[in-house]
Structure 1
Amino acid sequence: MDFKELQYVLAIAKNNSISKAAKELYISQPSLSKYLQNLEKNLDLKLFERMGNNFILTYAGERYIKCAKDILRIKKNLDDEFFDILSHKKGRLNIACSIVRSPYIIPETVPKFKKLYPNVDINFLEETESNNLDKLVINGEADLAIFNYSKSNPMLGCELLKDEEITLVVGRNHPLAKEGKKLEGCKFPWIDIKRFKNDDFIVNYTDQKSGEMEKDIFDRLNINPKVVLKTRSVECSIRLAAHGFGVSFALETHLKYPSLEKSPLCFSIGNPNITTKLFAVYRKSGYLPQYLQDYISIVKQVV
């Protein structure tokens, strides 16, 4: 079977369009149309229904796509293993992470990685909905995902990168700014979050890991927050809190990198604090090339 054929059909299915797929594949639209016509003729099956300019998968097409992804995943595992055997230091690494983490993960890790592996292509899939990151690994679009993994899937393996504390972020002029206490086990001054029950909260959306964790905190501590703003940007919520526009949450890692004109105060909250685990997540069945393992080590150094 021609692996190029599989990639062509996957591109059409992904884009629901011949023209968009052709542009992604850097081939002409007529060539791709002819390729698909010949494939369907040889199979004596329609893989797509044409609805105007949209290409919708038939049942046969859905089965083709599923098997194509499996075949390409097996091929990549074999290629990765051969790469390590031959030690040519050539390959490709696809990494998924949230768009919240990418502004510091990418510049802090890619230059170090490229020094070790200049001939390994590294690509990032930056997701706004971080709850989808595990799916990108499962379906083979990503070799590795970096996120606060809280589920359990027998198809996935993971390596702990860091235990992160979830902090409450407030402006330095907040009335409770000096009320924090030093407690054992807390990296920041501790405060009872219920003292902020009348404050305006800036929160993230619940299809983001950060928003999901915020909702869990409110539920766990029986707090009904007064939400003044929802945003997908953790940095935006930190900046707003620093300027005194409400209070927000932030993982301690997110606080390390933004350059802020006004630095906020951060409090530990909970009993005595609330933490979450940051993982590097990969497929259990996949071959883990040395360059992927080395990339995980680099991430551990910077988070």
Structure 2
Amino acid sequence: MDFKELNYVIALADFQQMTKAAEQLFISQPSLSKYIKTLEDSLGIKLFNKVGNRFVLTYAGECYVESARKILNIRAELDAKLSDIRSADVGRLNIGVPHTRASYLLPLVLPRFTVKYPKIQLNIFEDNVKVLEDALLNGKLDIALLMTPLSSSTLDYEVLNVENIYLVICKDHPMVNCSIDLPGSPYPLIDLNLFKNDTFILSYHSQRIGQIAYKVLAQMNFIPSSIYRIQSFITALKLVEVNSGVCFMSEFHIKHLACNNITPFTISKEKLSFELVVGYRKGSYLSKYSKDFISIVKDVL
């Protein structure tokens, strides 16, 4: 058994198509097909069943891939330790970041990191939090920016910041001057019931801001007259800008997504917030450059 063998099987398991897996591995499709066939013959058991155009893991294949990922994670941790010993001259860091946050956070973080670690290869993966958590668990990522609560107890995390969530309305909204000052809050307090006739632009239940928004509306017994469900936070804010509705948004999205014709408000004396964290596999080794990356993120936040 060698590491190439493990990577070949994992790639085919992930893509379920010989051509796509071969492209990912930078080898020809016939070479990969021959390699998998030779491996199965040497093991005396099938790792894949072909179902139509897809290669689906057998039970033996599932066991193989589960162990292969663990072995490669151990190898990656060893490489990271040895890299630290060599004064972090070379290395690789696989980072997961949610789509919207990546758009404004990475331009602030990466220039500083690459000045300090010019020979560290950075692989950035952008997706939603659920996909990033899964990628952490299966070893595709070293660290990822996530929001609490995490879905798996096998992940550990470090808190980067606490983000508050506010109601955002257009500056041209007729209720824009109906608020009162709230001591200790950067934004004034406004009564949510003033917006009973407004369209609420809400994130999906799979998104943390969406989860908090639906929970708040339920606790306040507030039923919007109409709802737009939108995944993109940028699109939501742009719609608010033209007075097509109101939305809930985190303070850092409000700060960095460059929308001018909007005004945030607090809707409760109790803070609506979540923890922004950097997640990693519990017990995994974090290299010095991983820790420095986390420190830079904390600093720019």
Normalising by structure 1, we get a TM-score of 0.95
Equivalent in the alignment of 2:70: 70
Partner of 1:182: 181
Indicate if the aligned counterparts of 1:183 and 1:272 stay in contact, CA closer than 8 A. Answer: no
Residues 236-289 of structure 1 show CA distances to partners (whole Å, capped at 9, x for unaligned) of: 1111112100101110000122233x4200001222431221111112210010
SS at match of 2:284: coil
- Structure 1 counterpart of 2:131: 132
Separation (CA, whole Å) in 2 of partners of 1:153 and 1:19:
33
Q: Is 2:293 aligned against 1:285?
A: no
Contact 1:185 1:272 in 2 (8 A): no
Q: How far apart are the structure 2 equivalents of 1:219 and 1:130?
A: 23
Structure 2: tracts of 5 or more residues without a match: none
Residue number in structure 1 paired with 2:171 = 172
Mapping of residues 1-303 of structure 1, within 5 Å: 1-127=1-127, 129-151=128-150, 153-260=152-259, 262-303=260-301
Query: 1:221 Cα shift?
Result: 2.1
| Partners of 2:88 and 2:289 within 8 A in 1 | no
1:54-106 Cα distance to aligned partner (Å, 9 max, x none) = 10110011001100111011111111111111214211111112112111122
**Is residue 193–residue 222 contact of structure 2 (8 Å, CA) maintained in 1?**
yes
Root-mean-square deviation over aligned CA pairs: 1.5
- Separation (CA, whole Å) in 2 of partners of 1:170 and 1:87: 50
Name stretches of at least 5 consecutive residues in structure 1 with no aligned partner: none
Contact 1:202 1:237 in 2 (8 A): yes
Q: What's the CA shift string for 1:25-49, capped at 9, x where partnerless?
A: 1111111111111100100111000
Helix, strand or coil for the counterpart of 1:167? Answer: strand
Tell me the SS of whatever aligns to 1:286.
coil
Bigger shift: 110-119 or 150-159?
150-159
Q: SS of 2:100's equivalent? A: coil
Q: How has the CA–CA distance of structure 1 residues 263 and 217 changed in structure 2, closer, same or farther, with 3 Å as cutoff?
A: same
- Distance in 1 (CA, whole Å) between partners of 2:212 and 2:140 is 26
Judge conservation of contact 1:6–1:68 (CA < 8 Å) in 2: yes
Aligned counterparts of 1:131 and 1:187: Cα–Cα separation in 2: 31
Distance 1:27 1:256 in 2: 45
Q: Distance in 2 between matches of 1:20 and 1:227?
A: 43
Q: Distance in 1 between matches of 2:226 and 2:105?
A: 29
The alignment-based identity, stated in percent, is 39
Task: Provide the aligned length of Structure 1 versus Structure 2.
Answer: 301
Give the CA deviation at 1:153.
4.2
Q: Is the 8 A contact 1:238 1:249 kept in 2?
A: no
Equivalent AA in structure 2 for residue 125 of structure 1? F
1:203 touches 1:248 (CA, 8 Å); kept in 2?
A: yes
Tell me if structure 1 keeps the 8 A contact 2:46–2:58: yes
- TM-score, length basis structure 2: 0.95
